[in-house]
């Protein structure tokens, strides 16, 4: 059997710096656990524009379609701000998401005990928090037609359309229900069925699929505005949440901030299963290219490392190795090892990007 394949796209700014630490974890898995990946590397974003005049070359797109999973660092930077919209660095990322048809965006919000003080909420509200938001990513109001700014009479009108088909709702519902089955068998679906027909359909389809195909999962429904309140009031009541593109955009950012630093947040975007049964998949940290600290060895690589842990779990069925990597990160944080973004009033051991990688590798060694 051939090795599982990975395409690494480090991108711009701190992307290559944080990805270098993931490469070390990949090498560690090969050397110490006998888990070997076929790794290829490519360009995306501003660096791809500099070389090819496009933020994603067709050959790189073809490679992304062919591998088992794509790992991306970050794209963008001020030097690209004035480029034409069609070749901006973000277009490379959007093209990947669109052409791979990555309809389910997984955003975990996990609060490591050692960082509970970083949350703007009280420590006991967030300590031990571990929830997963599944956001529909390829449809809804960001894509629906008609859209645009039109003139009606003597004034302009801005129009966007919230549109969901049953099959679009069904596929993201199944993705969330499958996740719930692997976690605590609890799913909360959020929409606004009280005021939106698309919400009525959303609730109907989720309920039907849950009842017919997932009787073992406890499914509840909540209006998204109440969901936002509950997320900051008592977030630990949730496990997996599924919601549409617009509400998911807002609720996942809200949930993410419960946990403190942007440098800690991983994500996965999944599509339909490929011939080998693995889903189309793109893993990336939530943060951007952080031009303000790029090239200074200050970036926190944990979001990127945890994104790779998600790849181990969701693309490669290596849940035990994902647990090992997440526990290594937890231990490093508990030991007080801190990149600058994690340095709070209680202090800690200040480290560079590479220093954080060293500490994670040492914790992985200690786990054997």
The reply on whether position 55 binds ligand NAD by CB under 6 A is no
Stretch that binds ligand NAD, among 196-204, 207-215, 292-300, 325-333 (CB under 6 A): 292-300
Residue 3 gets which letter from DSSP? P
Which of 292, 296, 320, 334 is the binder for ligand NAD (CB under 6 A)?
292
Tokens coding 71: 């790992």
56 binds ligand NAD (CB under 6 A): no
Residue (144 or 297) nearer to ligand NAD, CB: 297
CA distances from 97 to 53, 167, 178, 269 (A): 20, 19, 21, 8
Is 239 catalytic? The answer is no
In angstroms, the CA 126 to CA 130 distance is 9
Q: How many residues does the chain have?
A: 368
Q: Report the residue from 29, 75, 126, 217 that binds ligand NAD according to the rule CB under 6 A.
A: 75
Catalytic residue among 50, 117, 225, 365: 225
Block residue for tokens 């990946």: 37
290 touches ligand NAD by CB under 6 A:
yes
Which among 88, 192, 298, 331 is annotated as catalytic?
192
The yes-or-no answer on residue 142 being catalytic is yes
Q: Could you give the dihedral angle defined by the CA atoms of residues 332, 334, 339 and 341, in that order, rounded to the nearest 10 degrees?
A: 140
Could you tell me how many residues of this chain bind ligand NAD (CB under 6 A)?
22
Q: Which is nearer to ligand NAD, 133 or 210 (CB)?
A: 133
Instruction: Give the Å distances, CA to CA, from 24 to 32, 301, 343.
Output: 12, 11, 24
Could you tell me which residues come within 8 angstroms of residue 182 by beta carbon, excluding any fewer than 6 positions away?
Answer: none
Does 74 bind ligand NAD (CB under 6 A)? Our answer is yes
Contact pick of 293, 309, 310, 329 for ligand NAD (by CB under 6 A): 293
* End-to-end Cα distance, the chain: 26
Closer residue to ligand NAD, CB minimum distance, 75 or 255: 75
C-beta of residue 154 within 8 angstroms of C-beta of residue 186: no
> Considering the rule CB under 6 A, would residue 289 count as an interface residue with ligand NAD?
yes
Of the residues 55, 263, 271, 279, which one makes contact with ligand NAD according to CB under 6 A: 263
Q: Is 68 a catalytic residue?
A: no
| Contact status: 332 vs ligand NAD (CB under 6 A) | no
Strands 240-243 and 186-191: parallel
Q: Check residue 300 for interaction with ligand NAD (CB under 6 A).
A: yes
Residue 113: active-site member: no
Measured CA to CA, the distance from residue 100 to residue 278 in angstroms comes to 13
Binding mask 85-124 for ligand NAD (x = CB under 6 A): -----x--x-------------------------------
* Long-range interactions of 21-27: CB distance < 8 A, separation 24+: 21/301, 21/304, 21/305, 21/353, 21/354, 21/356, 21/357, 21/360, 22/71, 22/301, 22/304, 22/305, 22/307, 22/308, 24/357, 24/361, 25/305, 25/308, 25/325, 25/357, 25/360, 25/361, 25/364, 26/308
Applying CB under 6 A, among 95, 287, 331, 338 the residue interacting with ligand NAD is 287
CA distance 330 to 50: 38
Nearer to ligand NAD (CB atom), residue 295 or residue 319: 295
- Choose which of 341, 359, 361, 364 interacts with ligand NAD (CB under 6 A): 341
Q: Would residue 101 show up in a list of annotated catalytic residues for this protein? A: no
For ligand NAD, the closer CB: 252 or 289: 289
Is position 266 an interface residue for ligand NAD (rule: CB under 6 A)? Answer: no
| CB of 195 vs ligand NAD, minimal distance in Å | 31
Which phi and psi (to 5°) does residue 11 adopt? 80, -140
* Site for ligand NAD contains 16 (CB under 6 A): no
User: Which residues are known to be catalytic?
Assistant: 142, 192, 225, 249, 253
Provide the binding-site residues for ligand NAD, judged by CB under 6 A: 14, 18, 74-77, 90, 93, 262-263, 284, 287-293, 299-300, 303, 341
């Amino acid at each position: 059997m051939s090795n599982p394949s990975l395409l690494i796209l480090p991108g711009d700014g701190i992307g290559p710096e944080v990805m270098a630490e993931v490469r070390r974890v990949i090498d560690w898995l090969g050397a110490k656990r006998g888990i070997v990946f076929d790794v290829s590397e490519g360009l995306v974003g501003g660096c791809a524009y500099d070389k090819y005049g496009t933020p994603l070359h067709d050959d790189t797109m073809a490679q992304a379609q062919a591998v088992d999973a794509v790992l991306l660092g970050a794209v963008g930077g001020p030097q690209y701000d004035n480029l034409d919209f069609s070749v901006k660095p973000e277009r490379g990322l959007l093209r990947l998401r669109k052409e791979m048809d990555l309809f389910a965006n997984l955003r975990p919000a996990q609060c490591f005990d050692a960082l509970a003080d970083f949350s703007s909420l009280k420590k006991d509200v967030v300590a031990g928090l571990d929830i997963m938001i599944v956001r529909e990513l390829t449809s809804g109001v960001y894509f629906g037609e008609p859209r645009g700014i039109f003139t009606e009479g003597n004034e302009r009108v801005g129009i966007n359309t919230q549109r969901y088909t049953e099959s679009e709702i069904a596929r993201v519902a199944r993705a969330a229900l499958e996740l719930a089955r692997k976690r605590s068998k609890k799913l909360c679906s959020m929409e606004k069925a009280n005021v939106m027909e698309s919400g009525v359909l959303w609730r109907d389809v989720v309920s039907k699929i849950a009842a017919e195909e997932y009787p073992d999962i406890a499914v509840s429904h909540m209006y998204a505005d109440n969901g936002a309140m509950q997320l900051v009031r008592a977030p630990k009541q949730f496990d997996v949440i599924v919601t549409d593109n617009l509400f998911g955009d807002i609720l996942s950012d809200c949930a993410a901030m419960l946990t403190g630093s942007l440098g800690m947040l991983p994500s996965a975007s999944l599509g339909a299963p490929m011939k080998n049964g693995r889903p189309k998949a793109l893993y990336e940290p939530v943060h951007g290219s952080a031009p303000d600290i790029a090239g200074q060895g200050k970036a926190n690589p944990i979001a990127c490392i945890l994104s790779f842990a998600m790849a181990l779990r969701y693309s490669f069925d290596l849940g035990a190795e994902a647990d090992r990597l997440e526990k290594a990160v937890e231990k490093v944080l508990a030991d007080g090892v801190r990149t600058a973004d994690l340095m709070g009033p209680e202090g800690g051991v200040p480290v560079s990007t590479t220093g954080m990688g060293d500490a994670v590798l040492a914790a992985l060694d200690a786990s054997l």
